[in-house]
Amino acid sequence: MIGGLFIYNHKGEVLISRVYRDDIGRNAVDAFRVNVIHARQQVRSPVTNIARTSFFHVKRSNIWLAAVTKQNVNAAMVFEFLYKMCDVMASYFGKISEENIKNNFVLIYELLDEILDFGYPQNSETGSLKTFITQQGIKGQHQTKEEQSQITSQVTGQIGWRREGIKYRRNELFLDVLESVNLLMSPQGQVLSAHVSGRVVMKSYLSGMPECKFGMNDKIIIDKAGKGGVTNEAGKSDLGGGGSTSGKQSIAIDDCTFNQCVRLSKFDSERSISFIPPDGEYELMRYRTTKDIILPFRVIPLVREVGRTKLEVKVVIKSNFKPSLLAQKIEVRIPTPLNTSGVQVICMKGKAKYKASENAIVWKIKRMAGMKESQISAEIELLPTNDKKKWARPPISMNFEVPFAPSGLKVRYLKVFESKLNYSDHDVIKWVRYIGRSGIYETRC
Amino acid sequence: MTDSKYFTTTKKGEIFELKAELNSDKKEKKKEAVKKVIASMTVGKDVSALFPDVVNCMQTDNLELKKLVYLYLMNYAKSQPDMAIMAVNTFVKDCEDANPLIRALAVRTMGCIRVDKITEYLCEPLRKCLKDEDPYVRKTAAVCVAKLHDINAQLVEDQGFLDTLKDLISDSNPMVVANAVAALSEIAESHPNSNLLDLNPQSINKLLTALNECTEWGQIFILDCLANYTPRDDRESQSICERVTPRLSHANSAVVLSAVKVLMKFMEMLPKDLDYYSTLLKKLAPPLVTLLSAEPELQYVALRNINLIVQKRPEILKHEMKVFFVKYNDPIYVKLEKLDIMIRLASQANIAQVLAELKEYATEVDVDFVRKAVRAIGRCAIKVEQSAERCVSTLLDLIQTKVNYVVQEAIVVIKDIFRKYPNKYESVIATLCENLDSLDEPEARAAMIWIVGEYAERIDNADELLESFLEGFHDESTQVQLQLLTAIVKLFLKKPTETQELVQQVLSLATQDSDNPDLRDRGYIYWRLLSTDPVAAKEVVLAEKPLISEETDLIEPTLLEELICHIGTLASVYHKPPSAFVEGSRGVMHKRLPARTGSGESTESPDVGTAAGGSAPEAAPSIIPSQGDLLGDLLNLDMAPPTTSGPPPPTTGMQMGGMDLLGGGLDSLMGDESEPLGGDIGGSPAMGAGFGAAPAVMPASLNAPVGGGLGDLFDLGGVGMPMGAYIPPKIVWLPAMKAKGLEISGTFARRAGVIQMELILTNKAMSVMTDFAIQFNRNSFGLAPAGPLQVLTPLGPNQTIEVSLPLSTVGPVMKMDPLNNLQVAVKNNIDVFYFSCQYPISMLFVEDGKMERQVFLATWKDIPNDNESQFQIKDCHLNSDAASSKLQGSNIFTIAKRTVEGQDMLYMSIKLSNGIWVLAELRVQAGNPNYTISLKCRAPEVSQCVFQCYEAVLKN
């Protein structure tokens, strides 16, 4: 198991050092500094073995977090734990920076004592941690016996992520379907790989211990219902226009993962998503799709080398969605060679600039409606070099935000049941929003 | 309020100031001071001098201050053990506190203070906390047992904490269960003997139930523990798999990987034609792909594991090539791993896409990555024949870029392509030769020289090219020198007229001017070859080369199996067994995948129990040099063709030639089957002595019964009882399909005290097989060949030969699962083949296994009842005497017989070759075909195997 946990600043000075196991000595702190933080070359692996001691590290801005062990630990668990540790710290004091860590070192030690026991991760849900580890550190004394046992039963209990007795005057929930669409396209316009990785983020402000059920247009469910031919919903979709449209209305999900509140065995057997939600904001599920993705933009590049000192670049972007919708925050990044000396740009829409420090032309458009087209052309002057190595031509990348889900995912329902309190599914105010963003959206040129 | 100020106090005399502040009356000031102390401790300053002052602050109702003091104590208690005692009272008091958080805090901290005197005081509070009404305290106490065990294992056992911990597995609170599982797993790892994690269907069921309810971390502990279990049969295996698969949708990647580990392991036991098996395969792909959208560090862990999974079961991810395409912004460690997997998944179906990608990568910035990409193109050419041409032209394009390291890497792989497809692509040689000057790495230079030598007859100026290398001969690395020597000799053999001078020159450089023995020897060999018989030289130097394999960098199968059992852990990241990087006893136990039998021989979890591993063979006189690691030996393949010191008796049915090597001077005819009585009587003691294994180390107390044993033998012989030991029928161990035409079937026998492996080798291939050799992997009882495999004549197509191989029991020992599993490697001129087989454990029953009655009685009482196991033998129609004599043939000796109420009780003893005694009580009721047998042994894991022998012997 984890033998120790260290946090360093960018210089390699140790800010936090907590040792859990006898086999880890103080010299481990220095070994990591010397061999990894102060190493000359780039990091070649997130796992380093120095003198039979293994170091796992992650970096957040310029802070290093390192877990140390001498045993054959579960490596995936160690990294998951380090990420979790970052989340917990961030939810207590915001950004993970040297200053914040120094300002909160007592708190961090307290947290490390609680969420890692003898190197075994314990309950690390911020919701329940905050009930008894507070920055004031004085809560312990004023609790009644009931409060104390409520805390312990929550920390160890089956529903460790939600406490009892939550009350809201207005029961309300927000669902955000956030997708990032990833694309790698060849210069000829052939899709080399494309996938959508999506997240359903929920903000719940619900009283009591509500039981929720979430439904979306998952192909497997819709097909199942369709086969049964009983439910109205399936019937409607069939009436909608035969087989071809029913295919569009449901999507094939390659794989999905759920927050720990979701009953996985129920999903496995019935494919229904049921859970008691944590209070406040959390990520309900993640999913990935690869079929029938709506690619919001198409990038058509044209790069011509005119002699040894000049490049001509022309890039056309086409928006490919309903004309009534508006894409925002569009940015096209066209890489330029390292020996660029000057650039002239002409674009039809938005603003374009050559940024020498980033070796790229950045073209920004605030808004663009669907089914439109825009173009940029640039002339790049090059310094003559005797470097034999050819320019690697990195891909043209794109950023944007669109108000729909490129995977085609639709929320069908989110039902809330709370039998003990007197509010019903109808009384809950529900909001659904779809946002599609670019992930790694690249076209080779 | 900011705490960062505590980090900045670096004045002199600080300690004194702190001391004063710590003893201040004001609470706030005290707290400030403790914070400063902790800050100094963090940056590595020694503040141990403040120990008494800090401990004085412990008695407080301020929880935050208390936690800080505890933190200090954990760090310095070890250096000030006497002072640490001062803290004990507060701990004990806190363990009684009304607030469960404080009780837990006290027991958690106490466990971290590694001072013997404190641990003594810890026992009582810990016992209470393990049974605390509050689950938070119980889950903390569970981990505390593991802490205490780490400090003082004996104390934990004496105090009975292990039993309490076992009870916690049935706790109502899932987190308590998870922590108890984690603690027990850890303790079990350092205690291979104990049956701590008594995994059986009932406890597994409890764990699977808790799995649905506990935290993500708890799920990992439980899944990792489940992975150590070996299901009894394929049905149990399937039902566990069904309950584990939902975990594949968990958001925590570690939960997913641990679930994959359980599934990959248990899948081994499922029959391949089962529908569920293919369903399961399909279910595994999506979650593995999803892992690749995690953070880069986790992606790296996932990719290292996928690399193993793809080697073990390529079918799972064969359609998922695209997800391994490298993204421009991936960290370099992710890129390199993805590339590795791409090559493994490359096939005819996707090769076009793969090649297009690889070509892109070859123009990237990172040198290592580019080199690997270029190498990958070459590997594609070798793996997918249809793509070879395209690969070669891609490589030529890359050579045109003139980027130095790209050119060199390309030339190295083109050499391999020439090896694989001779005389096909020599048109490119001209292009290669243009780049001679830019080659500065030895590997590339050697590759280029090899190409020139190999195609010397088609390169007009081959002699000039090679001569140019010769100028700086002594500055070259050995690799290049050796290659240059061979290439010039090749050239000479092809164009003898023009190159005589050149060859003279290189030979003299290599033999006279070089200090390198390898180079000199090779030079002399060539020289003599050329001077004595140029025709022979041609045959040797220009001989046809063996094919190169399609897959490279494959992990050796037994290691791969072990690593599959370690999915998700560091071992799977390093691709090394835990013993390679973990110190001490922890984690050195080798894990194995279960066998696909369905019947399930072993109920032991591989982690628990020692078996023979613990009771290694006694120090028998080492007659046969013990084999080292199978891996190492096979890699070197220095298995000499069979040689014997004397001519083997050609007419005897049994091949005793190998025995001569033992130097025992045995008459090989002694063991002849045709004289069963004499053979056995004369054979057992005498041969035993000659063999040096058992009687030489026989305990003195056993000397007496030997005579009696002999007498018994005479008695029995007189009555004319059947004496033959049970020999199982021969079965096919290695089908011809798996071994390029070599079929091996066989069985094991024990004849006259010698264990024999009887093999039938059949050549079902078209070509002659020669140079047979055999090697065993380390196994539970140290079985090893006592001599070479005696196949003296080449084995022609469709020929069959029977060989028997005498075995010794002094080889290296490693516990196998099942216990009687034997992994064998057979080599011939074609390749090395691996198979595994199971031997009846009765082979190991030695002839002097008859115990004296008193000794038997005492031993029976002495062995704890926990070690007794009971079995039923069904449908056996022998009476007790017949059974007894039948068993005696296999060295299972009846010591006494009692008849109680029509039921015959037979008491028997068995001694294994490694000195383990097994005592048995066989109950036979007249008219009832079902026997009951109780086995008692100090190493209870052999009981199952022994029982199987009983069954086999009695039913044959």
The whole-number pLDDT of residue B535 equals 86
Residue B46, chain A, CB below 8 Å: the answer is no
Closest partner CB to A120 (pick from B179, B247, B583) = B179
The whole-number pLDDT of residue A428 equals 92
Q: Using CB atoms and an 8 Å cut-off, which of residues 108-147 of chain A contact chain B?
A: 109-110, 113, 117-118, 120-125, 132, 137-141, 143, 145
Q: Do A123 and B215 touch (CB under 8 A)?
A: yes
> Both tokens of residue B575?
């691709």
Q: Is the pLDDT of residue B34 over 70?
A: yes
Helix axes B462-470, B442-454, angle to 10 degrees: 150
Q: What's the pLDDT band for B44 if we cut at 50, 70, 90?
A: confident
Best of B102, B114, B208, B249 to disrupt the A interface (most A CBs within 10 Å) is B249
Best of A17, A20, A48, A77 to disrupt the B interface (most B CBs within 10 Å) is A77
Give the number of residues written for chain A. Answer: 445
Q: Which amino acid is at B853?
A: R
Q: Do B64 and A110 touch (CB under 8 A)?
A: yes
Residue A49, chain B, CB below 8 Å: the answer is yes
The whole-number pLDDT of residue B596 equals 64
Spatial separation of the C-alpha atoms in residues A88 and A95, rounded to whole Å: 11
Residues of A in contact with B572 (CB under 8 A): 75
Spatial separation of the C-alpha atoms in residues A321 and A349, rounded to whole Å: 19
Measured from the Cβ of residue B499, the count of other Cβ atoms closer than 10 Å reads 22
B719 or B56, which is more confident?
B56
pLDDT digits (tens, 9 = 90+) for B531-562: 888 888 888 888 888 777 777 678 888 999 99
Residues of A in contact with B296 (CB under 8 A): 46
Tell me which range, A255-264, B51-60, B762-771, is most confidently predicted by mean pLDDT: A255-264
Residue B785, chain A, CB below 8 Å: the answer is no
Summarize the confidence of residues B671-688 as an average pLDDT: 38
Question: Minimum mean pLDDT among A300-304, A405-409, B145-149, B639-643: which range?
Answer: B639-643
DSSP assigned state of A323: T
- Rounded to 5°, the CA angle A55-A59-A65 comes to 45
Residue B435, chain A, CB below 8 Å: the answer is no
Q: Do A255 and B146 touch (CB under 8 A)?
A: no
Smallest CA–CA separation between A398 and chain B, in Å? 13
Measured from the Cβ of residue B85, the count of other Cβ atoms closer than 10 Å reads 15
Q: Do B217 and A140 touch (CB under 8 A)?
A: no
Residues of B in contact with A58 (CB under 8 A): 295, 297
Q: Do A22 and B213 touch (CB under 8 A)?
A: no
Q: Using CB atoms and an 8 Å cut-off, which of residues 303-342 of chain B contact chain A?
A: 322-323, 325, 327-329, 331-333
Best of B145, B330, B570, B590 to disrupt the A interface (most A CBs within 10 Å) is B570
pLDDT digits (tens, 9 = 90+) for B434-456: 888 888 899 999 999 999 998 88
A134 or A190, which is more confident?
A190
- Mapped onto helix, strand or coil, the DSSP state of residue B88 is helix
Q: What pairs with residue B823 in β-bridges?
A: B836
Q: Do B249 and A267 touch (CB under 8 A)?
A: yes
The fraction of chain B above a pLDDT of 70, given in percent, is 84
The whole-number pLDDT of residue B643 equals 35
Smallest CA–CA separation between B210 and chain A, in Å? 10
CA-based nearest residue in chain A for residue B289: A255
Closest partner CB to A137 (pick from B64, B71, B213) = B64
Summarize the confidence of residues B501-527 as an average pLDDT: 89
Q: Which amino acid is at B905?
A: M
B776 or B634, which is more confident?
B776
Spatial separation of the C-alpha atoms in residues B424 and B454, rounded to whole Å: 13
Phi, psi values for residue B922, rounded to 5°: -110, 125
Q: Which residue has the tokens 């094919």?
A: B547
Q: What's the pLDDT band for B847 if we cut at 50, 70, 90?
A: confident
Q: What pairs with residue A74 in β-bridges?
A: B569
Closest partner CB to A388 (pick from B35, B287, B403) = B403
Question: Minimum mean pLDDT among A238-252, A428-442, B2-16: which range?
Answer: A238-252
Q: Is the pLDDT of residue B661 over 60?
A: no
Report the mean per-residue pLDDT for chain B. Answer: 80
The whole-number pLDDT of residue A294 equals 93
The fraction of chain A above a pLDDT of 70, given in percent, is 91
Q: Which residue has the tokens 């109502």?
A: B172
DSSP assigned state of A395: P
Q: What's the pLDDT band for B403 if we cut at 50, 70, 90?
A: confident
Q: Which amino acid is at B295?
A: E
Q: Do A140 and B63 touch (CB under 8 A)?
A: yes
Question: Minimum mean pLDDT among A127-141, B482-496, B559-573, B677-691: which range?
Answer: B677-691
Residue B150, chain A, CB below 8 Å: the answer is yes
Q: How many CA atoms lie within 13 A of A109 on its CB side?
A: 27
Q: Is the pLDDT of residue B179 over 70?
A: yes
Residue A91, chain B, CB below 8 Å: the answer is no
Q: What is the CA radius of gyration of chain B?
A: 35
Phi, psi values for residue A314, rounded to 5°: -130, 130
Residue A157, chain B, CB below 8 Å: the answer is yes
pLDDT digits (tens, 9 = 90+) for A219-268: 888 887 766 544 444 333 333 333 333 345 789 998 899 988 899 888 88
Residue ranges for the known binding site of A are 351, 353, 355, 364, 366
Please report the sign of the dihedral spanned by the C-alpha atoms of residue B312, residue B318, residue B323, residue B327. positive
The whole-number pLDDT of residue B9 equals 56
> Both tokens of residue B227?
């992975």
Smallest CA–CA separation between A185 and chain B, in Å? 12
Closest partner CB to A47 (pick from B289, B573, B587) = B573
Spatial separation of the C-alpha atoms in residues B33 and B50, rounded to whole Å: 11
Residue A72, chain B, CB below 8 Å: the answer is yes
Overall pTM surpassing 0.80 (yes/no): no
Residue A76, chain B, CB below 8 Å: the answer is yes
The fraction of chain B above a pLDDT of 90, given in percent, is 25
pLDDT digits (tens, 9 = 90+) for B141-166: 999 999 999 998 888 888 999 999 99
Spatial separation of the C-alpha atoms in residues A209 and A157, rounded to whole Å: 14
Q: Is the pLDDT of residue B678 over 60?
A: no
Note whether B906 and B921 are within 8 A (CB): yes
The whole-number pLDDT of residue B614 equals 37
Note whether B208 and B217 are within 8 A (CB): no
Measured from the Cβ of residue A318, the count of other Cβ atoms closer than 10 Å reads 17
pLDDT digits (tens, 9 = 90+) for B271-322: 988 899 999 999 999 999 999 989 999 999 999 999 999 999 999 999 999 8
Q: What's the pLDDT band for B603 if we cut at 50, 70, 90?
A: very low
Residues of B in contact with A256 (CB under 8 A): 249, 290
pLDDT digits (tens, 9 = 90+) for A161-195: 887 788 899 999 999 999 999 998 988 888 988 99
Residues of B in contact with A264 (CB under 8 A): 212, 246-247, 249-250
Complex prediction ipTM:
0.81
Residue A319, chain B, CB below 8 Å: the answer is no
Closest partner CB to A152 (pick from B101, B112, B151) = B101
Single out the residue of A69, A2, A79, A76 nearest to residue B568, CA to CA: A76
Residues of B in contact with A150 (CB under 8 A): none
Q: How many CA atoms lie within 13 A of B586 on its CB side?
A: 14
B608 or A165, which is more confident?
A165
Q: Using CB atoms and an 8 Å cut-off, which of residues 225-244 of chain A contact chain B?
A: none
Note whether B457 and B494 are within 8 A (CB): yes
Q: Do A77 and B174 touch (CB under 8 A)?
A: no
